[in-house]
Amino acid sequence: MSDVPFDPTRSDATSLSGEGGESQSNGSAGWLHRLRPGTASADRPGANLDDPSPSPVPPHPGVVPPAPRVHETDGAATHVYGDPEVVAHHIEQLILETRKRDLLEGVEQSRERLLDQPFVRDPHWDLVWEQIVNPVTGRPRQPILVIVAPRSCGSTTFALRLLAEHTADDTTVVQLDADWDTPRQGRLPLERAHAYQLDLKHPENDQVSADFLNALSKHASHLRDCRSYLALTVAQDLWKDHRLSDRHGIQVVHLHEPPDAQRVVEAHLTANGYDRLVTSLRSFSKATTSLRGLTA
């Protein structure tokens, strides 16, 4: 194709005479095929195979280049997905992420519902609670909390309640589903002002390793920047490696026993309007004996 724009006012005769017979008509309304400078065939005079490739043809003066892709921010932390060329407006924090399809999914929990549910803490739970919460800020001491407890101890309830009570009101509480073959930090979501809770209970798929905790330690700094938290509840039988311990940004605590079963039953009866049954339960020794030592 010729680099010279087609001029319908030029006659075919002029084109033929101007080329001196070196080009032939291509049969399309008398257009002539012209080679770009420096691209003549090797058997023609002036051809040089050592010449570099010709420079790209500059755009036509009348052509407007496409506008850059602009991402406008609202002043808060900005999550940019894709590949924008310009990020506009005032930016407090820029988080560049490549969203992965295999990120763990979760269900958003109602903070009000979590706080309204019956909840019982015995002295042992109170002690662990105090270890986690900074008394000055009222927030967890570390962005990542690992709660190791026997199965059916109530650790999930403990973690969700703690996040509901000791994170900011605008923080979204999300309970994640551990849909993986092995724990991997790369599958954990990261959003601003989120509190994630994740159970690690599967005997094969949820085995915790030192490498996983090392990766979590790096992840903790990103959570801190986003004012977010992650609470992992780990079955005690999965916490066997002596290398599993506190790391920078991670606090590990242990729940050794559940709260008193009778107090839990009484709390649920009272919350559902069955106060009279609480009195009957306490007077029925066979019932209280059967509750003793039960877990959730």
What confidence tens digit (pLDDT) does each residue in 165-193 have? 999 999 999 999 999 999 999 999 999 99
What pLDDT band is residue 139 in, cutting at 50, 70 and 90? Answer: very high
pLDDT, averaged across the chain: 81
What pLDDT band is residue 87 in, cutting at 50, 70 and 90? Answer: low
Residue 16 pLDDT? 46
Q: Give the residue with greater pLDDT, 130 vs 73.
A: 130
Tokens of residue 27, six digits: 């049969």
What pLDDT band is residue 23 in, cutting at 50, 70 and 90? Answer: very low
Q: What is the mean pLDDT of residues 128-141?
A: 97
Q: What is the mean pLDDT of residues 77-91?
A: 58
Pairing relationship of beta strands 250-254 and 144-149 according to DSSP bridges = parallel
pTM for the whole structure: 0.67
Q: Give the residue with greater pLDDT, 27 vs 266.
A: 266
